[in-house]
Amino acid sequence: MPTRPALLPLLPVHDTVACCEPLVHEVLAADQAERLARVLKAIADPARLRLLSLVAAQESGELCTCDATDRLGLTQPTVSHHFKVLVAAGLLARDKRGVWAYYALVPGALDALAGLLATTGSAR
Amino acid sequence: MPTRPALLPLLPVHDTVACCEPLVHEVLAADQAERLARVLKAIADPARLRLLSLVAAQESGELCTCDATDRLGLTQPTVSHHFKVLVAAGLLARDKRGVWAYYALVPGALDALAGLLATTGSAR
């Protein structure tokens, strides 16, 4: 039986998008608001925002944990924690190769989140 | 001398946008990440997300505090607190008329926030 994950599983952005109308189209139901708030909480943190932008800035499209610590001045356990939160939220994908893990943006995930907040295309 | 505001002043979204490149264009500086995280924290809350969507859903474009409590099942002090956070973040505008306050979306604020998260238009 698999061990229970250390982090409370967050609903990935794509599931959130599938479940919910954009914020400005109709009044969010309580459960939809809970789901969207969990994803937003994952990025409402300066270190995680910088990690996301650092991953996005990589020419290769992915960032090794070994590089993240130096660039952001954070310890390995702290970086690992932040990466886990971003993966659980469905924003980053993790690929373990050898002793290091590599992280890449989940295609479309940030755009999906942005789409929930944007009023463009709304009737207003 | 003016009294200190009860809430820590958040940087309005428009100032955040003016200060920062979109998340995926370059690595966010520490101070930019702090500012953006503060605005995201303002909306990373189920009740505040529902309030925002309720304001956006109004035909008149604005919501009276007197209607918000009934619709969301929250007490007046709780609703007032959430409104203050959203106004401080630059997402809602407040207009006091008589005994009630009315709240409307700040035009472009949510779109500006969405634009910071979207990868569209990035080189990637």
Is A44 part of a structural domain of the chain? yes
Of B33, B113, B122, the CB nearest to A50: B33
Chain B residues in contact with chain A using a Cβ-Cβ cutoff of 8 Å: 23-28, 30, 33-34, 36-37, 40-41, 43-47, 49-50, 52-54, 56-57, 61, 71, 105, 110-111, 113-115, 117-120, 122, 124
Number of domains in chain B: 1
Contact A120 B111 (CB under 8 A): yes
Contact A46 B33 (CB under 8 A): yes
Is A19 part of a structural domain of the chain? yes
Is A65 part of a structural domain of the chain? yes
- Classify B71 as helix, strand or coil: helix
Q: Could you tell me which residue, B16 or A106, shows the higher pLDDT?
A: A106
CATH of the domain at A69: 1.10.10.10
Q: Could you tell me which residue, A87 or B119, shows the higher pLDDT?
A: A87
- Classify B98 as helix, strand or coil: coil
Of B53, B56, B117, the CB nearest to A114: B117
**Containing domain of residue B39, as a range?**
13-110
A57-84 pLDDT, tens digit each: 898 999 998 889 888 889 999 999 999 9
Q: Does residue A14 carry a pLDDT above 90? A: no
B/e letters for A19-45, b = 16+ CB within 10 Å, e = fewer, are ebebbbbebbeeebbbbbbbbbbbbbb
**Average pLDDT along chain A:** 81
pLDDT for B55: 93
Is B37 part of a structural domain of the chain? yes
A80/A47 Cα distance (integer angstroms): 12
pLDDT for B26: 72
Is A121 part of a structural domain of the chain? no
Is B25 part of a structural domain of the chain? yes
Give the mean pLDDT of A99-112: 92
Q: Which range has the worst mean pLDDT, A46-50, A99-103, A119-123, B42-46? A: A119-123
Is A49 part of a structural domain of the chain? yes
pLDDT for A11: 45
B30-80 pLDDT, tens digit each: 888 999 999 999 999 999 999 999 999 898 999 998 888 888 889 999 999
B60/B5 Cα distance (integer angstroms): 30
Give the mean pLDDT of A18-47: 82
Of A34, A36, A44, the CB nearest to B41: A44
pLDDT for B2: 42
Is A80 part of a structural domain of the chain? yes
Contact A124 B61 (CB under 8 A): yes
Contact B27 A54 (CB under 8 A): yes
Summarize chain B as % helix, strand, coil (round to 5). 50, 10, 35
Q: Does residue A15 carry a pLDDT above 90? A: no
Which positions in chain B touch A122 (Cβ < 8 Å)? 56
